[in-house]
Amino acid sequence: MGRNVAEKLIAAHLVEGEATAGEEIGLRVDQTLTQDATGTLVMLELEAMGIDRVRTELSVQYVDHNLLQEDHKNPEDHLFLHSAARRFGLWYSRPGNGVSHPVHQERFGKPGRMLLGSDSHTCAAGSLGMLAIGSGGLEVALAMAGCPFYMKMPKIWGIELVGKLPDWVSAKDVILEMLRRHFPFYDLKDVSPYLDRMRMIKTPREIEILRHNGQIAAEAINKAIAVTRPGRFECEVEAEATYHHVKNGVQRAGYAAIVGSGPNVNVRHYRDSGRQMEVGDLVVMNYGGSLDYMIIDITRTWPVSGEFDELQLRAYRCALEAQKAIIAAMRPGATRSGIRKMTAEIYKKHGFEDQRAPSAGHFVGMVVHGVGDSALPLEPGMVIAVEPIIEIKEKQLHIRIEDTVLVTEGDPVVLTAAAPKEVAELLALMKNSSIQR
């Protein structure tokens, strides 16, 4: 009887044991990948073992998750990993090159080779005809030192797919179905819906953290507004807010800061912060921190010169009226579709009926775009971003007023209320600022 690809790959790399299901075998490793902190530990383990150079055909260290941090820790890790990769003979993929497993497949993957990685997605390289296995950092370090990788010989199933898979069915679902068929005494379920439900309704402790973080984020925006002047750069505005976050104990950015002026206001996820601001520009700033794993989403829009022009002011007042109406309607039982009908009338009244009417937006929590079912009626404990937008690209117009809002049994609570959004208060913050940097 012929062997399948997996059996052939195992046989080609077998250095110890017999390829019998359930028996321990040792496999020769051709390639390894490590990423972020697992790489730091692996490098220290190689040093402890007294290894001069790695003994694999190829090993790569990736920096793909720990990219940004407000303090010195991540940059120092990157320097250590770079120097250790040079010391032990690894390829080094610097921050920004991409996520380890797809980049490895694109640049280094070879059919017939064995890849051992300290990333759970390493096995994706099996799609190239590699024997690809994810494991712990110590096993990867031993493989880099020339030791075999030990595991129990798996029982290999053959799967024949007939016809076409339904929409949204992935390889994971095929695997789960095989497990159900072969282990009927286990009740296998996807826990994601249960976890998503838990994350959608915040606990009292999570709400306490979000209240505190919302206050800090709003104050940081105020600091940024106060230092805005023609001739200054977007990065100076960002730095003012970042300083306030760090000073007040925010551990990291909840997402990369968006500070766009002039033509950059129309770039939804603008990241450069490199333009010098000019008279007549708008500034759109979307920036919140992550405090104890809870993130705040907040955006304000203001004029660099301290005065809106006629179109900017009309659009701003429209967005502000819509946002206030949305927040007032965010009570238990309300639906996003019902709220949108109300804001459509507001947009029409101000002459912006061609724009998409807003409603209660995305959930906020452990990630800025949190999980949850947006079709459900609102419930107490939901935390939702409200961000009406009016945009006319040819006019370099983008008005966005965003707050993070907590749904309660009674009145909704704006967690970022400390940042002014009324026109007079917003402009007064610029004019009366005593901050000179």
Classify residue 414 by burial, with Cβ atoms within 10 Å: 0-12, 13-18, 19+: buried
Q: 151 pairs with which residues across the strands?
A: 25
Q: Tell me which long-range contacts 377-380 makes (C-beta under 8 A, separation of at least 24).
A: 377/332, 377/333, 377/334, 377/335, 378/330, 378/331, 378/332, 378/333, 378/334, 378/335, 378/407, 379/201, 379/332, 379/407, 380/201, 380/332, 380/407, 380/408, 380/409
Tokens 């955006």 found at? 299
Q: What are the residue ranges of CATH 3.90.230.10 in the chain?
A: 198-431
| pLDDT computed for residue 74 by the predictor | 77
Tell me the range of 93-97, 99-103, 312-316 where mean pLDDT is highest: 312-316
Distance CA 56, CA 40 (A): 18
Distance CA 428, CA 418 (A): 14
pLDDT > 70: percent of the chain: 97
Q: What are the residue ranges of CATH 3.30.499.10 in the chain?
A: 5-182
Under CATH, to which class is 198-431 assigned? alpha beta
Ranges assigned E (strand) in 207-346 = 252-253, 258-261, 282-286, 289-291, 294-295, 299-303
Distance CA 290, CA 148 (A): 42
Is the pLDDT reported for residue 71 higher than 80? no
Range with the poorest average pLDDT among 36-40, 105-109, 324-328, 387-391 = 36-40
Indicate the pLDDT class of residue 1, thresholds 50, 70 and 90: low
Query: What would the pLDDT profile of 414-436 be if each residue is shown by its tens digit?
Result: 999 999 999 999 999 988 765 55
- Whether residue 372 contacts residue 196, with contact meaning beta carbons closer than 8 Å, is answered with yes
What 3 state SS string does 63-119 have? CCCCCCCCCCHHHHHHHHHHHHHHHHCCEEECCCCCCHHHHHHHHCCCCCCEEEECC
| pLDDT computed for residue 436 by the predictor | 54
| Sheet-wide strand order for 413-414 | 383-386, 403-406, 413-414
Indicate the pLDDT class of residue 437, thresholds 50, 70 and 90: low
| pLDDT computed for residue 68 by the predictor | 61
Range with the poorest average pLDDT among 94-103, 202-211, 283-292, 341-350 = 94-103
Distance CA 146, CA 328 (A): 65
What CATH topology corresponds to 5-182?
A: Aconitase; domain 3 (3.30.499)
Distance CA 305, CA 222 (A): 16
Is the pLDDT reported for residue 70 higher than 70? no
Model-level pTM? 0.69
Range with the poorest average pLDDT among 149-158, 297-306, 317-326 = 149-158
| Sheet-wide strand order for 149-152 | 14-16, 24-27, 149-152
The stretch 94-115 carries a mean pLDDT of 93
Got the DSSP string for 199-236?
Answer: HHS--HHHHHHHHHHHHHHHHHHHHHHHT--TT-BHHH
| pLDDT computed for residue 144 by the predictor | 97
Query: What would the pLDDT profile of 154-190 be if each residue is shown by its tens digit?
Result: 988 888 888 888 888 887 888 888 888 888 888 877 8
